Every structure is written in C-alpha cells, then in structure tokens.
Amino acid sequence: MKTDGFVEKATRDAIAGNSSGSFDLSGELPLKRQPFMYSLTKQVVVDKKRFKEQHLVAAYSEDPESDAYKILRTQVQQRAKSQGWNTIMVTSPRPRSGKTVSAVNLALSMAQEFHQTVMLVDCDLAKQGIHTLLGYESNRGIADHLLENIPLSDLIVCPGISKLTVISGGKTIGGSTELLGSAKMGQLVAEMKNRYQNRYIIFDVPSLLEGADAIAFLPYVDAVLMVVESGKTSMTDCTTAVQLVPQEKLLGCVLNRHAAISR
C-alpha cells in the first residue's frame, strides 16, 4: 500500500475520529499484518431546507423543539457512558411509529456536541429510509457489505453535517432476518464497537412485532431504544415488545409525536 501524503492525512483523521477519514472494516485486514486501508469518506449533499418538513428538528439547536432531543441525547449518553455502551438500536413495537425520524434526530443532536462523533446505520433492509429523510440518493448500504463484501469505506458517507457519518441504502433486500442475524453482521457490529469506541453507532432497525429482523439483530447491540407513538401504540404492543428485549439492554422508550409540550 502506498503511504503517500493522502493516506497519512486520512490515517491521522481516522485516528482522530474526523469524518473525512474512515477505516476499511471489510473484515480481513485488521488481523493480518497488512496496514489498514483508508479512504476519504464520500460526501453527499443533503437538502437541509427540507429538514423541518421532515421533522428533523434536532438540526436546529436554537429551536425549542430540539430541546426534546437534547433531553433524550443526555439521558441516552448518561446511561451509555455508565455502562460502556456505544452501539444502540432504535426499534418500535410496530412500523411507522417514528423510528427513523427518532434515530436521525438523536444522531443529529449527538453530532452537535463538541467532540462527539456519530454513525447512523440503516438496518431496516425492507425499507431503508435514512437517506430519503436526509434528502440524498443512495442505492448501496450495509447489505452490500454483508452480501458482496463491498468495503464499508465505500458505503460510509458524510452528509455535510459535522461529526456525522451514515450508511444507508435504497434496495429492498429479501432474507433480511438471516442477514441481520448472521455471524458476519455480529462480527461487524463488534468491530465497529471496538474500532469506534468514542463514537455512538445508531442502528435504525425494523419493528419488533413485525417479522424477526429486530429480534435477530438484538444480541449484537449494547442497548435498545424503543420508540412508541403517542396515542397510537397500544399498551399490549408496548408491553410485548419491551418483554422481547433483555432488561439489561433496554435503554428506555421514546414517546414520539406527543403534543402535550406546554410553553
């Protein structure tokens, strides 16, 4: 491997956790005597003007609505730090409760903090929607790494938001339960956890009570954040979903779309 200035700079950036440098996490390299491969993270242009209409309020630090996500971020971080957690999956009992909106807002809120880097990974393989919400085109994601060994360095993008990197994708993948529950997925999450110790890695995962994807993926993450929709999610679904999560992994519940914030 050439060690020219570009590689050295990328190496320094990667070690410093800067978003312009990234590890190649293809799986083979770390254990061999080969040097790591680095590359510049691909930049994508997001449509920040659409953030408000997409309910990405955490992007606006001064907006009173972003306070809810600052509270969530603080609660998540306090618990995560005390437990040594940095891999967090966001799920819900049923679809359309706001998992993706909550996961992206949490990541945006975390990335606003000094020194806090975040990676957002779309693991809802039947409905990968993070890139749509952020407003950029994407047709490759984590499944391409799992199925075709595409290096993660080719999949990680920087959406022009300081300290945030994203792996999303556009294709609908069959056999998602087997992929999310595969040993390769487990190794990948473990490798991300260890490589990016100071970075939160947030996984947007399908619902717990529809299909088995979330249950299959659950053992690989440190913690689970459960999104429930105010006035919609039934108590029965909420209880059933919570019971599927080992108690020690349950970070807490997010009450999404709750309108009772009085000012």
Q: Which residues of the shown chain bind Mg ion in the complex (CB under 5 A)? A: 99-100, 129
Answer yes or no whether residue 87 interacts with ligand ADP by CB under 6 A: no
CB 131 within 8 Å of CB 168: yes
User: C-beta of 181: minimal distance to ligand ADP in Å?
Assistant: 20
Answer yes or no whether residue 100 interacts with ligand ADP by CB under 6 A: yes
Considering CB distances under 5 to 8 angstroms, the limit depending on partner class, which of ligand ADP, Mg ion, none binds residue 112?
none
Q: How far apart are CA 106 and CA 127, in angstroms?
A: 19
Sign of the dihedral through C-alpha 65, 71, 76, 81: positive
120's tokens: 């957002």
Report the site for ligand ADP in 30-59 (rule: CB under 6 A). Answer: 55
Answer yes or no whether residue 128 interacts with ligand ADP by CB under 6 A: no
Answer yes or no whether residue 202 interacts with ligand ADP by CB under 6 A: no
Q: How far apart are CA 120 and CA 40, in angstroms?
A: 18
206 contacts: CB under 8 Å, gap ≥ 6 = 91, 95, 123, 124, 125, 126, 127, 176, 213, 214
Considering CB distances under 5 to 8 angstroms, the limit depending on partner class, which of ligand ADP, Mg ion, none binds residue 225?
none
Answer yes or no whether residue 79 interacts with ligand ADP by CB under 6 A: no
259's tokens: 């309108």
Answer yes or no whether residue 232 interacts with ligand ADP by CB under 6 A: no
Interface with ligand ADP (CB under 6 A): 55, 92, 95-101, 129, 256-257
